[in-house]
């Protein structure tokens, strides 16, 4: 739980940017709902009711998607309802249940179940994912705000209005809601684009959020919930730990532009593999930069893993071959090969990477078993370009996103997942050795949107 909240804290800048934007969108043209309206709208919303659905109560007659006029009485906060008392002309008549035997079940449970660890289904059983430093959430986060986002078991849109709901109504504060129309949808799209989701993904996400909800009144909390659901849906298929194979040494080629965090990530991964009982060898393949080699040696020491180096300017492919030999001799489980990231001369880099692959395949025709592309999340949309380039340079099998801490550009992960569908194996959330976490789509979605933040 501690690590989870750390992740959320560190992604705060992304969520605060989105939250500010959502606040502004809903404020503009929104109006305060009476608490009873809030409850009913929320219930209907969580049911995913289409605007063509039957009215939820005699007074709740949202007639058509295009109709921006809310049918509810505006702004006034009614006197608290007494259990069983009449609730007003435009409200569903509360059933007279003077002594309800039981309150409605679990009124403030969040809509989604806590995330389960992702499995890589097509791996043999002995292939384990990267050791997860994330604790599984021990209790689901609660959705703040007066209107619980509950879907009562087997209930209709306005079902479950017993004793408990009336209690909630009495305590609920007014909520600002805005009717979802084309203008608001456009503003949402712009906000998501500004949050680095990219145009295509932002439009798709906004459209999915709006589906069946045009003409409905939404609060900021509800929009955050819808957005988090949509982000999690997109991210779930790509949240896959790096597979570990039984055949050793497993060769992991690590690529990415200079400064993206390759060295740091190799050190963090090596440390996690070691903690999982694996023996690891690192090869310092960026032989042209002495500083890069030194950094890798420092990380090797921290992780307790040997780092093979070669004289400055020597052939990285030759070092990779020597490293293969050593890894085999040592019976190492993993060989991680760092590479240069000079995109300035792409043809040279492509040839360098291709040669490394040719040479290690002399020892193992299936190597490299993983080609990890390390991306710096703070580069925002540029990360998309880097994926395109490196997919051409090397057979990228998965991504590690670094520097998600303190960036307001976390939305780029959604664009990456939507566009490329490459597995995101891990995320870097700091500069320390244990600041590498498995990618959890639900945590990420909630941290990005600021929903259910504890
Ligand atoms: N805040 C933060 N900083 C990170 C993270 N990962 C790496 N860094 C920092 O990013 C900088 C570059 O990281 P490196 O690992 O040296 O990057 P590289 O891709 O190996 O760069 P070159 O050695 O120049 O090829 C360093 O200052 C790291 O401490 C992260 O997840 N969060």
Q: For 187-201, what is each residue's pLDDT tens digit?
A: 999 999 999 999 999
CA-to-CA distance for 225 and 171, rounded, in angstroms?
22
For residue 408, what pLDDT is reported? 75
Counted domains in the chain: 2
On whether the pTM is more than 0.80, the answer is no
Full residue range of the structural domain in which residue 304 is found: 250-438
Is residue 267 in contact with ligand 1, taking CB distance under 6 Å? no
Q: Are residues 254 and 231 in the same domain?
A: no
pLDDT for 396 equals 96
Model ipTM? Answer: 0.97
pLDDT number for residue 410: 87
pLDDT attached to residue 420 = 97
- pLDDT below 50 — which residues of the chain? 1-4, 49-164, 166-167, 453-454
Q: Domain check: are 390 and 300 in the same one?
A: yes
Residue 69 burial class via C-beta count within 10 angstroms: exposed 0-12, middle 13-18, buried 19 and up:
exposed
Residue 289, in any domain of the structure: yes
Alpha carbons 33 and 21: distance in angstroms, whole number: 20
Q: Is 262 annotated as a binding residue?
A: yes
Report whether 261 belongs to an annotated binding site. yes
Q: Say yes or no: 172 and 305 in one domain.
A: no
Residues 319 and 370 both lie in one domain: yes
Q: Supply the CATH number for residue 344's domain.
A: 3.40.50.300
Measured between alpha carbons, how far is 92 from 27 in angstroms, rounded to an integer? 27
222 and 266 part of one domain: no
Residue 266 and residue 229 share a domain:
no
Where is the domain boundary, 187, 204, 238? 238
- CB-CB contact of 450 with 16 (8 Å): yes
Ligand 1 in reach of 378 Cβ (< 6 A)? no
Distance 266 CA to ligand 1 centre (A): 10
Give kind and range of the element (H or E) at residue 175: strand 175-179
Q: What is the predicted pLDDT for the residue at 60?
A: 39
Residue after which a domain boundary falls, among 186, 213, 238: 238
Domain check: are 207 and 314 in the same one? Answer: no
- Out of 9, 14, 133, 263, mutate this one to test ligand 1's pocket (max ligand atoms within 8 Å of CB): namely 263
In this predicted structure, what is the pLDDT of residue 181? 95
3-state secondary structure of 171: helix
Give Cβ neighbours of residue 211 (< 8 Å, ≥ 6 apart).
none
296 ligand 1 Cβ < 6 A: no
Q: Do 166 and 266 belong together in one domain?
A: no
Of 9, 264, 401, the residue with max ligand 1 atoms within 8 A of its CB, to mutate for a pocket test, comes to 264
Is position 272 within any domain?
yes
Same domain, 188 and 255: no
Last residue of a domain, one of 175, 205, 238: 238
The DSSP 8-state label assigned to residue 285 in this structure reads -
């Amino acid at each position: 739980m501690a690590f989870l909240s750390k992740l959320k804290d560190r992604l705060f800048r992304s969520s605060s940017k989105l939250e500010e934007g959502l606040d502004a969108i809903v404020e503009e043209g929104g109006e305060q709902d009476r608490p009873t309206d809030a409850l009913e709208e929320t219930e209907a919303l969580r049911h995913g009711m289409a605007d063509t659905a039957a009215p939820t109560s005699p007074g709740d007659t949202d007639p058509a998607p295009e109709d921006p006029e809310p049918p509810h009485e505006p702004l006034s906060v009614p006197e608290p309802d007494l259990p069983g008392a009449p609730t007003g002309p435009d409200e569903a008549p509360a059933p007279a249940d003077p002594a309800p035997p039981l309150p409605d079940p679990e009124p403030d449970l969040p809509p989604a179940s806590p995330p389960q660890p992702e499995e890589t289904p097509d791996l043999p059983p002995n292939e384990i994912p990267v050791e997860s430093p994330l604790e599984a959430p021990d209790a689901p986060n609660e959705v703040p705000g007066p209107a619980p986002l509950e879907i009562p078991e087997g209930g209709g849109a306005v079902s479950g209005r017993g004793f408990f709901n009336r209690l909630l109504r009495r305590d609920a504060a007014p909520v600002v809601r805005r009717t979802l129309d084309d203008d608001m949808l456009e503003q949402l799209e712009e906000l998501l684009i500004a949050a680095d989701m990219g145009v295509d993904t932002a439009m798709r996400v906004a459209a999915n959020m709006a589906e069946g909800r045009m003409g409905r009144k939404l609060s900021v909390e509800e929009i955050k919930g819808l957005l988090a659901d949509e982000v999690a849906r997109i991210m779930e298929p790509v949240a896959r730990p790096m597979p570990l194979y039984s055949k050793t040494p497993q060769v992991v080629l690590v690529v990415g532009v200079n400064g993206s965090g390759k060295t740091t990530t190799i050190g963090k991964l090596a440390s996690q593999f070691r903690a999982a009982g694996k023996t690891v060898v690192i090869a310092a393949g960026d032989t042209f930069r002495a500083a890069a080699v030194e950094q890798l040696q420092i990380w090797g020491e921290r992780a307790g893993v040997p780092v093979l180096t070669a004289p400055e300017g020597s052939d990285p492919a030759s070092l990779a071959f020597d490293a293969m030999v050593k890894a085999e001799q040592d019976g190492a489980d993993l060989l991680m090969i760092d590479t240069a990231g000079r995109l300035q001369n792409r043809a040279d880099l492509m040839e360098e990477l291709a040669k490394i692959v040719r040479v290690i395949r002399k020892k193992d025709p299936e190597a490299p078993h993983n080609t990890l592309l390390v991306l710096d999340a703070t580069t925002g949309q540029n990360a998309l370009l880097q994926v395109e380039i490196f997919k051409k340079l090397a057979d990228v099998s998965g991504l590690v996103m670094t520097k998600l801490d303190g960036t307001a550009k976390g939305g780029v992960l959604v664009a990456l997942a939507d566009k490329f569908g490459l597995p995101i194996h891990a995320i870097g959330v700091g500069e320390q050795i244990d600041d590498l976490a498995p990618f959890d789509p639900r945590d990420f979605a909630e941290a990005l949107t600021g929903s259910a933040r504890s």
